[in-house]
Structure 1
Amino acid sequence: MNRADKNYLHFTQFVLFSVFLVIVAGSVVRMTQSGMGCPDWPRCFGRWIPPVNASQLPPDYEKYLKKQDIDHTFNVFHTWTEYINRLTGALLGLWLVIHVGWSFKKYFRTRPSLFWISSLLLVMVAFEAWLGKLVVDANLAVVKITAHMLAALVIAAVTIVIIQRVNKKTPVQDKELKWLANIALLCLLVQVILGTEVREQIDEISKSLNYIQRDSWISRLNVFFTLHKSFAWVAALACVVVFWKSLSYPTVSKTGAWIFVTVLASMGLGLAMTYFHMPALAQPLHLLCATILFMLVFALRLRLK
């Protein structure tokens, strides 16, 4: 790989890091109940730069505060937490504009697929921003929040496709490992869907309790939580089998090792949330680990034939 390709690859990896940063920022927003800290979009209290104290609120500020579901008062922490989340999304869009331009200049004539996939990423991020507007307009309707998260996962997966195509590493010929990776991906997808159902319930339960009494949230969940908790062992086993099988191939064994480590971290955080009354910090970390795990298995699957 020449220097120009390496620079392009490193920037694409930076874009992927930025996608994960957006996911984490969104999780922190939910963890701190800051989702309506900026109750309008794309501005915040009618301003491009949010207020830092109540004296900077516009004269008609009450029309914004009444959209909130916590205390209907101005909270600078909630406002700036949500605003920083939006900034990470805006920066991701900027990086992708640069990425599209770079892809066009470098690969449009020789490898046009890279340009078109990069352009697709930009369109998807624009769609994600539109979903963000719907989330605000709907006052954090849980279904739209889930769609917002799933769209981010697709963006990360497409970015990995670009990275794999630029790397051009020799694929591993192992049909058994290929099918094991397919099964693991399917199990993880089912687990993600079950997890989103649980998350929507947690959103509704926590809101009904004014975001307190965390020790009672788990007991109020329905059968989806039982399914999510039980199927986690199936998904984990599938991933561990992929890890074990990948050790036979040095070119993918490192990815397999990271899959194993991430499985342990994700399961540990899930158990912590179940038995220690949903500690706030465990929520975004669990989501981050689950996202990374899915992407690691997906990346390994792309290396198999």
Structure 2
Amino acid sequence: MFVLQLGLIGLCIALLPLSYVWVKADDNKFRKLVWLTTFLTLDLIMFGSFTRLTDSGLGCPDWPGCYGTSSPFVAHAAITAAHQAMPSGPVSMVKAWIEMLHRYFAMAIGVLIIAQVVIVWTARLKRRPLHVSPWWPTGILLLICVQGAFGAWTVTMKLQPVIVTLHLLLGLALLGALGWLAARQTPIPVHEPAAARWLPAAVFGLVLLVVQIALGGWVSTNYAVLACTDFPLCNGQWVPPMNFEHGFHLWRALGMTGDGEMISQDALVAIHWTHRTFAVVVVLYMLWLAHKLRRFESLRTPANGVLLLIVIQFLTGLSNIVLQWPLPIAVAHNGGAAILILLLVMLNFRLSSSRPGRAVLPARDVVSA
């Protein structure tokens, strides 16, 4: 019964953006729905980082509900008892609400994606195509189902670092897929075939960014942000003592080595130092790539966005160390990484569409037809 109640909560939340899309004066409601879903997914990723950074991931230690109910209101007695038994533990009423709000919003995103699937397949059956294969939104729906499974494992496996990191990467993959679909529904201002030769460089840039975000997720999920407390040195050394074997042993419990022992400070330093060092490579490459791409009119806006976000990411990353990991800056650092993914996806899409014979047409509005 409580699972049905959870579904109804997600549906009610999703009705707000669906109503907005429906009443908004726009010739292409499907495009607006996709863009709005993309924006809300970005918000969900940032709220997910807030959930993790406030140690609320186990605020409700079961899944999908909270102590077998649909709301912390109903589970008040169980939450209070758990908090009284362990006041410094992971369960409290505030943490329970943070965790459940994250789950509610995730279900609402799922409803919005289901709506997209219904729209594109209806358009296909009525022979009014949206200039996108219906299998693309269908694939996105399957992706969010996998993401939901990893969300469940995040809780049931007690925040195991590799599961939490994969949950983050799948969330970014979902954001990127929605961003590609949104770009597919948006006309490119200028068709510039000469820009197409930069596509391999942009793809490589996206790969570098994903690797760096995976390293950052590994830092965050292992709570290694403050393993190095100074900059540019790490604990007063360019190359401090490090234990890569334990630091990058993937299948292990939080705070433990693969052998079940307490993880050492040297292992946490290895995690932090690797993320920091690889960031230099990513920053230099992104600055070079964005500088080269901004010469093209169709790429100037996302390229300028990359330049701006790289500077912001450097500043927020440095602030996390100098200011001892303040919550707003840590969330902003996670959000900046997600926006960079979107910008790189947009650049890759526009470069791909710049190839001869690959011009993208605006989609027709089958929703209002």
Q: Which category describes the TM-score, using the shorter chain as reference length? A: 0.7 to 0.9
Q: 25, 30, 33: which one pairs with 2:52?
A: 30
Tell me the distance in 2 between the aligned counterparts of 1:219 and 1:279: 23
Q: How does 1:135-284 map to 2 (within 5 A)?
A: 135-169=154-188, 170=191, 172-202=193-223, 221-284=268-331
1:31-65 alpha-carbon deviations (Å, 9 max, x no partner): 1111111111111122112128x8x425x986xx3
Match for 2:296: what amino acid?
Y
Q: Give the drift of 1:220.
A: 7.4
The answer to whether residue 337 in structure 2 is matched with residue 287 in structure 1 is: no
Tell me the distance in 2 between the aligned counterparts of 1:193 and 1:46: 33
Alpha-carbon RMSD: 3.0
Structure that is richer in helix per residue: 1
The answer to whether residue 118 in structure 2 is matched with residue 88 in structure 1 is: no
Match for 2:223: what amino acid?
I
Q: Give the drift of 1:266.
A: 0.8
Q: How does 1:12-51 map to 2 (within 5 A)?
A: 12-51=34-73
Q: Give the drift of 1:286.
A: 0.7
Larger radius of gyration: 2
TM-score (norm 1): 0.84
Tell me the distance in 2 between the aligned counterparts of 1:23 and 1:266: 16
Percent identity between the two aligned chains: 22
Bigger shift: residues 100-109 or 233-242: 100-109
Q: Give the drift of 1:205.
A: 8.8
Tell me the distance in 1 between the aligned counterparts of 2:346 and 2:90: 45
> Contact 2:60 / 2:91 at 8 angstroms: preserved in 1?
no
User: Would the alpha carbon gap of residues 247 and 121 (structure 1) be closer, same or farther in structure 2, given more than 3 Å must change?
Assistant: same
TM-score (norm 2): 0.70
Q: Give the drift of 1:242.
A: 2.1
Q: 70, 78, 81: which one pairs with 2:95?
A: 78
1:111-150 alpha-carbon deviations (Å, 9 max, x no partner): 5853111111111111111111111111221211111111
> Contact 2:63 / 2:152 at 8 angstroms: preserved in 1?
yes
Q: Give the drift of 1:219.
A: 8.5
User: Would the alpha carbon gap of residues 11 and 182 (structure 1) be closer, same or farther in structure 2, given more than 3 Å must change?
Assistant: same
Tell me the distance in 2 between the aligned counterparts of 1:201 and 1:22: 21
Partner of 1:105: 122
3-state SS in 2 of match to 1:47: coil
1:247-289 alpha-carbon deviations (Å, 9 max, x no partner): 2211110111111111111111011112222222222211110
> Contact 1:259 / 1:296 at 8 angstroms: preserved in 2?
yes
Partner of 1:120: 139
Structure 1 residues without counterparts, runs of 5 or longer: 209-216
> Contact 1:142 / 1:203 at 8 angstroms: preserved in 2?
no
Structure 2 residues without counterparts, runs of 5 or longer: 1-24, 228-253, 256-263, 356-369
Q: Give the drift of 1:177.
A: 2.7
1:2-21 alpha-carbon deviations (Å, 9 max, x no partner): x9762211110011112112
Tell me the distance in 2 between the aligned counterparts of 1:242 and 1:73: 43
Q: 41, 49, 57: which one pairs with 2:77?
A: 57
Tell me the distance in 1 between the aligned counterparts of 2:348 and 2:47: 28
Tell me the distance in 2 between the aligned counterparts of 1:297 and 1:233: 18
Q: Give the drift of 1:184.
A: 1.8
User: Would the alpha carbon gap of residues 121 and 174 (structure 1) be closer, same or farther in structure 2, given more than 3 Å must change?
Assistant: same
Tell me the distance in 2 between the aligned counterparts of 1:112 and 1:190: 32
> Contact 2:219 / 2:225 at 8 angstroms: preserved in 1?
no
Tell me the distance in 2 between the aligned counterparts of 1:40 and 1:259: 39
Match for 1:265: what amino acid?
I
Structure 1 runs, 4 residues or longer, greater than 6 Å off = 203-208, 217-220
1:149-206 alpha-carbon deviations (Å, 9 max, x no partner): 1111111111122122222533543255323323322321221232223223217999
